[in-house]
C-alpha cells in the first residue's frame, strides 16, 4: 500500500508539471502571436520582363532587381523602379509577374494581377478594356536602323521610302509604319528583343519604337542609329499614343488607382528622366 501511495504521488506530480509546461507554452504562443507583425499586403504587377529599358529579365538580384513570381530569375528596369516606389508608398510588398504583352489586359481583368506597368500607351481602344492611372512616362516614337546603310542619314520619313519595316505586335508603333512612303511592312514581332534581332540581322531596314527603347537599343548595339526626326518630319502621333499609364481592372479599381496616382504625384518629370537614364545604363546588354 505504501508503495502504491508513493507511486500515486509521483504520477500526480508529473501531471502537474506537464500541465504547467503546457500552460507556459500556450502563454508563449499567445505572446509570440501578439508580437508577430501582420503580413503585408501584396501588389501584384505584370510586365513582359523583356522590354528594356522599361523592363527586362536578369539572373541575379543585382541593382535592386525583384524576383519574378514562380521563377529563379529577376526583373529590373524603369517599370520595376516605378513599381517599387508605388508599393513602398502603399506599404505593400511588390510581386512581379512575367506575362506576355497580349496577356496583360486579360490577366488584369481576370484578377491574376493588380496592375500592369509595362510601357503601355493610354489609347482610347485600350481604355475600353482597362482603366489607366495618370501618365507615368511620355515617350516620343522614333525609328531605328543600322549604321552604314542608305537609311542611316535619313532626315525625315520621306527619306525612308521603300524601307522594309516592322515593329511589335499590337502596338501603336506598328500602326505608324504605314506613314513611311511605299514601306514594305513585314509581319509584326512578338517582343522588342525579336524586333532588334530582325534589324541587326538584316531582315528589315527599319523598326519603329518609342524613344527610350531606341536609346537602350543603341546603347547596347553600337551598330544601330536612332532616327529622331524633328519639326514635324517624323511620325505623326496623337497625344494618347505617347503618354504611358499604369493599367488596372476596368471599373473596379478606384481605390487602387487613387493610391497609384498619389505615389506618381510625388515624382517630377526630372525624377522620371533620371530613373530612365539609370535603367538604360543598367540594362544587361549595356555591360
Structural domain boundaries, residue 69: 42-138+243-286
Contact indicator for 142, 211 with CB cutoff of 8 Å:
yes
Residue with the bigger pLDDT between 85 and 1: it is: 85
* pLDDT band at residue 1 under the 50/70/90 scheme: very low
Same domain for 254 and 121, yes or no, is yes
Residue 19 lies in a domain: no
For the segment 48-77, the average pLDDT, to the nearest whole number, is 95
Same domain for 120 and 251, yes or no, is yes
Same domain for 134 and 162, yes or no, is no
Burial class (CB in 10 A: 0-12, 13-18, 19+), 189: buried
Same domain for 196 and 69, yes or no, is no
User: How high does pLDDT run on average in the chain?
Assistant: 87
Number of domains in the chain: 2
Instruction: Evaluate if residue 32 carries a pLDDT over 50.
Output: no
Residue 155 lies in a domain: yes
Same domain for 231 and 110, yes or no, is no
Same domain for 126 and 64, yes or no, is yes
Residue 184 lies in a domain: yes
Same domain for 69 and 52, yes or no, is yes
* pLDDT band at residue 17 under the 50/70/90 scheme: very low
Residue 214 lies in a domain: yes
Residue 254 lies in a domain: yes
**pLDDT tens digits, residue range 134-168?**
999 998 999 999 998 999 999 999 999 999 999 99
Residue 149 lies in a domain: yes
Residue 10 lies in a domain: no
Same domain for 188 and 60, yes or no, is no
Radius of gyration of the chain (CA): 28
Residue 21 lies in a domain: no
* pLDDT band at residue 71 under the 50/70/90 scheme: very high
Contact indicator for 120, 126 with CB cutoff of 8 Å:
yes
- Give me the CATH number covering residue 264: 3.40.190.10
Same domain for 69 and 207, yes or no, is no
Predicted local confidence at residue 38, as pLDDT: 55
Predicted local confidence at residue 9, as pLDDT: 53
**pLDDT tens digits, residue range 237-284?**
988 888 999 999 999 999 999 999 999 999 999 999 999 999 998 987
Instruction: Evaluate if residue 30 carries a pLDDT over 60.
Output: no
Predicted local confidence at residue 24, as pLDDT: 47
Instruction: Evaluate if residue 12 carries a pLDDT over 50.
Output: no
Same domain for 195 and 156, yes or no, is yes
Predicted local confidence at residue 170, as pLDDT: 85
Same domain for 48 and 114, yes or no, is yes
Same domain for 126 and 145, yes or no, is no
Predicted local confidence at residue 239, as pLDDT: 86
Instruction: Evaluate if residue 13 carries a pLDDT over 70.
Output: no
**pLDDT tens digits, residue range 40-60?**
899 999 999 998 899 999 999
Residue with the bigger pLDDT between 271 and 286: it is: 271
Amino acid at each position: 500500500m505504501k508503495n502504491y501511495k508513493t507511486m500515486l504521488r509521483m504520477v500526480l506530480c508529473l501531471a502537474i508539471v506537464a500541465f504547467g509546461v503546457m500552460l507556459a507554452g500556450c502563454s508563449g504562443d499567445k505572446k509570440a502571436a501578439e508580437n508577430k507583425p501582420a503580413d503585408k499586403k501584396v501588389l501584384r504587377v505584370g510586365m513582359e520582363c523583356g522590354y528594356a529599358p522599361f523592363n527586362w529579365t536578369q539572373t541575379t538580384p543585382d541593382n535592386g532587381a525583384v524576383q519574378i513570381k514562380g521563377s529563379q530569375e529577376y526583373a529590373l528596369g524603369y517599370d520595376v523602379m516605378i513599381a517599387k516606389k508605388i508599393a513602398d508608398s502603399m506599404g505593400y510588398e511588390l510581386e512581379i509577374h512575367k506575362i506576355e504583352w497580349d496577356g496583360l489586359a486579360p490577366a488584369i481583368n481576370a484578377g491574376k494581377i493588380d496592375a500592369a506597368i509595362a510601357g503601355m500607351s493610354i489609347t482610347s481602344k485600350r481604355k475600353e478594356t482597362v482603366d489607366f492611372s495618370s501618365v507615368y512616362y511620355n515617350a516620343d516614337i522614333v525609328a531605328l536602323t543600322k549604321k552604314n546603310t542608305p537609311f542611316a542619314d535619313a532626315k525625315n520619313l520621306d527619306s525612308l521610302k521603300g524601307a522594309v519595316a516592322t515593329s511589335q505586335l499590337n502596338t501603336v508603333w506598328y500602326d505608324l509604319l504605314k506613314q513611311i512612303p511605299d514601306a514594305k511592312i513585314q509581319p509584326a514581332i512578338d517582343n522588342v528583343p525579336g524586333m532588334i534581332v530582325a534589324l541587326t540581322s538584316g531582315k528589315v531596314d527599319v523598326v519603329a519604337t518609342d524613344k527610350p527603347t531606341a536609346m537602350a537599343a543603341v546603347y547596347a548595339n553600337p551598330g544601330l542609329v536612332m532616327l529622331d526626326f524633328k519639326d514635324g518630319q517624323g511620325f505623326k502621333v496623337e497625344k494618347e499614343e505617347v503618354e504611358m499609364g499604369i493599367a488596372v481592372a476596368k471599373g473596379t479599381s478606384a481605390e487602387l488607382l487613387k493610391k497609384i496616382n498619389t505615389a506618381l504625384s510625388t515624382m517630377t518629370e526630372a525624377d522620371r528622366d533620371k530613373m530612365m537614364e539609370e535603367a538604360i545604363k543598367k540594362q544587361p546588354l549595356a555591360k
